[in-house]
Amino acid sequence: MKPDEAHPPADRERTAPAIIRGAAERFRSNVAQAVIGRPRTIDLIFVALLCEGHVLIEDVPGVGKTLLARATARSLACSFKRIQCTPDLLPSDVVGLHVFNQKSAEFEYRPGPVVANVVLVDEINRAMPRTQSSLLECMQERQVTIDWKTVELPRPFMIMATQNPIELEGTFPLPEAQLDRFLLKLKLGYPSQPDESSVLARYREQSPIDRLGSVIATEELLAIQKLSRRTHVAEPLRDYIVAVVRATREHPDIRLGASTRAALGLQAACQALAACRGREFVIPDDVKELADSVLSHRIILTTEARLKGRSEEKVLQELLGSLPVPVET
C-alpha cells in the first residue's frame, strides 16, 4: 500500500494544514540560518511559494534582498538562475533565442535564465522597458514565446525581483501591468541592534548560506501547493476580500485601484497563510495582515494625496479600518 493510501481522503483533508505547517516551519528554520531576524518575511516568501506567486523586494542596498532569494532557492530542491539587470540587457538574454545548428541544419532553442524554478531578477528597475516586458508572459502564463515557438516553463515557477528605491539615476520604473503580476511586495528595513550583532557573529568566519541544504523537494512543494488551495474560504470572507479590493477603486486618495487579479491573489495568499498556521479556514485577520503586501504596489495615489505626505500603506490601513469585518453568527 502506498503512503497516500494509508488514510482515506477525509483523513488526508484533515491533516493537510498540519502537513503545510510542518513544511513552513522547516523552510523558516532553514532560511533563518542565513537570513537573521526576518521570520515574518520568510513566512511571506513561503506563502508566495504556495501560491506560485512572484515577489518584489524593495529596499536599500545591503539589507539582504539577494541573500533572501539565494537562501530560498537553496532551501528547495529546485533549479535556480539569476538575472543581473543592466540597461543593455536584451529580451533574448532573459528568455533565450534560436541558434542555427550547422550539423543538423536546423534552428535550436537555447533557453535563457528565466527557464528555471526560482529566478532572481536583481535590480529589475535597471532593465530597459522592453526587457522588463519580456517577463510579462512568463509571470502570468508560465511560458515564453520565442519567434514561432512557445516553451512551457518548469513548475513550480517563481520570480523574486529586487529593486533599490533610493537610487533613481539609470533606472526605469516598473509599469503597472508588471507590478500587478507580483503577488507580494516586501520591504526588509534595517535589522535591530541584537539582530545586526548576530549577523556579525554568524558571518565572522563563513557565510551560513554556503552550508544550506534543501529541505523541501520539488514534488512535495507541488503537492502542498494543491493542498493550500483547498483551505476553506467562507462566503462572508470572499465578500470581505471583494469589498477591500473594490474600496481601493472608490477611495478619494487613490487614482488607480486594485484589479481582479489582486482579489484572486489576496484570496490565494490568505489560504496559504491560514494553512501555514495550521488552520483549515481563512479568518478576517489573514486578510488584514496580507492586504498591505498584496495591494500596496497595485494602487496609485492621487497627486494631492502624495503632496500631503500620504502613503499607500497608510491609506490601506485607514481603508481596512473603515470596512465592517465579517463576524461568526
What integer pLDDT is reported at residue 281 of this predicted model? 95
Query: What is the tens place of the pLDDT at every residue in 49-101?
Result: 999 999 999 988 888 899 999 999 999 988 999 999 999 999 999 999 888 88
Query: Coil, helix or strand for 153?
Result: coil
pLDDT-above-90 percentage for the chain: 75
| Residues near 148 by beta carbon (within 8 Å), at least 6 away in sequence | none
What integer pLDDT is reported at residue 105 of this predicted model? 78
Mean pLDDT, residues 25-39: 94
What integer pLDDT is reported at residue 2 of this predicted model? 40
Residue pair 98/149 in contact by the 8 Å Cβ criterion: yes
Query: What is the tens place of the pLDDT at every residue in 196-207?
Result: 999 999 998 888
In angstroms, the Cα distances linking 309 to 53, 84, 252, 270 are: 31, 33, 15, 30
Q: What span, in angstroms and rounded, lies between the C-alpha atoms of 249 and 260? A: 11
User: Domains plus CATH for the chain?
Assistant: 16-230 (3.40.50.300), 231-329 (1.10.8.80)
Q: What value does the mean pLDDT of the chain take?
A: 90
What integer pLDDT is reported at residue 314 of this predicted model? 94
> pTM of the entire structure?
0.89
| Residues near 213 by beta carbon (within 8 Å), at least 6 away in sequence | 30, 74
Q: What span, in angstroms and rounded, lies between the C-alpha atoms of 321 and 191? A: 29
Q: Residue 13 above 80 pLDDT? A: no
Query: What is the tens place of the pLDDT at every residue in 98-156?
Result: 888 888 878 888 899 999 999 999 999 999 999 999 999 999 999 998 887 888 999 99
What integer pLDDT is reported at residue 200 of this predicted model? 93
Concatenating the DSSP letter of every residue in 91-131 gives HHHHHEEEEEETTTTEEEEEE-TTSSSEEEEETGGGS-HHH
Strand pairing category for 149-152 and 143-146: antiparallel
What is the 3-state composition of the chain as percent helix, strand, coil, each rounded to the nearest 5?
50, 15, 35
Higher model confidence: residue 179 or residue 165?
Answer: 179
Mean pLDDT, residues 184-202: 93
Query: Coil, helix or strand for 29?
Result: helix
Q: Which residue has the cell 516553463?
A: 153
Which of 120, 135, 119, 118 has the alpha carbon at shortest distance from 174? 135
Q: How confident is the model at residue 1 (pLDDT cuts 50, 70, 90)?
A: very low
DSSP-derived secondary structure letter, 208: G
Joined grid coordinates for residue 113: 535564465
What integer pLDDT is reported at residue 116 of this predicted model? 93
Q: How confident is the model at residue 328 (pLDDT cuts 50, 70, 90)?
A: low
